[in-house]
Amino acid sequence: MSTQDFRRLWYADAFSQLGTRISAIAIPLLAATTLHASTWHVALLTTAETLPFLLLGLLVGAWADRMRRRPVLVAADLGRAAALGSVPAVAAFGPLTLGQLYAVAFATGVLTVFFDVSHRAYLPQVVGREHLVKANSRLEANRTVGYSVGPTAGGYLVQWLGAPLAVLLDAVSFLWSAGWIASIRTPESRPRPAAAPDLRREVVEGLRFVLGDPLVRATTLFAAAANLLIAMTSAVEVLFLLRTVGLPPGLIGLLMGGCSLGAVAGAIVAAPAGRRLGDRRALTASALGMGLSSLLVPLAGPGPRLALFAVGAGATAFCISVHAVVSMSLRQRVCPDHLLGRMTAIGGFLVAGTLPLGGLLAGALGSVVGLRATLWTAAAGLLAAALCLALSRALRPRLPQPAAVGRAGREGRCETSFASRTPS
């Protein structure tokens, strides 16, 4: 493991995550307060940003396995900085429109697909497979600290400086990230080109790997369902706190930032939990925790009932963080190098591809049945998905066959299936 280069990757990720979370609250508040957007139009921002995962996810995975990943990361960061920087630039010289916000969200989403696929495929080359859980825990800690501090900072920045300047900070954070990633010195060999490149065949090869292993398939399908339902919650929770509960923007950011401390704690305990409980039990417990704790969120209201939102959202964030670290580390550990990009992209297609659907569903339900009922629907669905995962045969402990154990011991290696890599 190159400690110095991982530190550079970690520095790049840390400030970028913070800036991203500032924009996540600043842009919806900009649409809702300055442009007076409806529930449907605010929810469409989530759809515009996440739609590229659905449109491009499978293709980007195959492309990422054909090229070096570090240049892709730098280019994606610079592109996102330019797209987000257009918001304060236009605000300074002319009126902002919802059309521009949709265009910025979509462009940022396209570049994020390239970045996320390449980043997860690049990490094993920087740290080595034996350090993946530790490295993913630290990166997840960045994400969760961003979720904690970013909304608080974003809410108050919008209140004090205005939303366009808050978005400018996110643009600067991507420039910071590009600089640190460009400074990484770990050699990255150019992937060996296929004798006859065939995009369709390469995508099918990746699909066979992702869907062929029972545990990979089960956890990926759960993540897809969970992301759909979490996206529904995320698309309307700011409006719920603003219009139903009646909180000012600064307090909304403070509350959401405080709830995200649960995700920070989850990133810290994910690796010990996996070792103590075993990966299967950790995955099951964290999934059920998501579903149960999310039921508290729609019970929130003014006054003391606001604590229900804090406890429910905080506990949900904790469980999401634990589940993300354990499941992603397992996938990266077993996947061959030449399939890492496709595995990540297919997972992103199946998982993140549900995010725009979540935004659309939330917008439609919120307009028809109200914000609180939409949150109830999402919470009930998340609990149902968790129960399906818990009852799945893929998560039942399995003992390796004696012949396989003997062969692995003689050859000095581990079997490559999840059955032998996940303790019971």
**Contact assessment for residue 13 and residue 173, using Cβ atoms and an 8 Å cutoff:** no
Give pLDDT tens digits for 115-152.
888 887 788 788 776 677 778 778 877 777 776 677 66
Report yes or no on 317 lying in a domain: yes
Report yes or no on 188 lying in a domain: no
Highest mean pLDDT among 145-149, 209-213, 291-295, 334-338: 291-295
The total number of structural domains in the chain stands at: 1
Q: Give the CATH number, domain containing residue 116.
A: 1.20.1250.20
**Contact assessment for residue 177 and residue 12, using Cβ atoms and an 8 Å cutoff:** yes
Report yes or no on 195 lying in a domain: no
Residue of 357, 379, 359 lying closest to 313 (CA atoms): 379
Q: pTM to 2 decimals? A: 0.64
Report yes or no on 37 lying in a domain: yes
Give pLDDT tens digits for 70-126.
888 999 999 999 999 998 899 888 788 888 999 998 998 888 888 888 887 788 788
Report yes or no on 193 lying in a domain: no
C-alpha distances out from residue 301 to 247, 295, 307, 367, 396, Å: 10, 14, 9, 19, 40
The whole domain housing 119 covers 3-183+200-421
Residue of 26, 14, 20, 18 lying closest to 253 (CA atoms): 26
pLDDT at 338: 67
The phi-psi region of residue 196 (left if phi > 0; otherwise alpha if psi is between -120 and 50; otherwise beta) is beta
Report yes or no on 121 lying in a domain: yes
Give pLDDT tens digits for 230-283.
989 888 888 898 888 888 877 887 787 777 778 778 888 887 887 788 777 888
Report yes or no on 270 lying in a domain: yes
Q: How far apart are CA 100 and CA 90, in angstroms?
A: 9
List CB contacts of 60: < 8 A, sequence separation 6 or more.
Answer: 113, 114, 117, 341, 345
- Find tokens 């491009």 and name the residue: 56
Report yes or no on 368 lying in a domain: yes
The phi-psi region of residue 96 (left if phi > 0; otherwise alpha if psi is between -120 and 50; otherwise beta) is beta
Residue-by-residue DSSP string for 322-385: HHHHHHHHHHHHHS-GGGHHHHHHHHHHHHGGGHHHHHHHHHHHHHHT-HHHHHHHHHHHHHHH
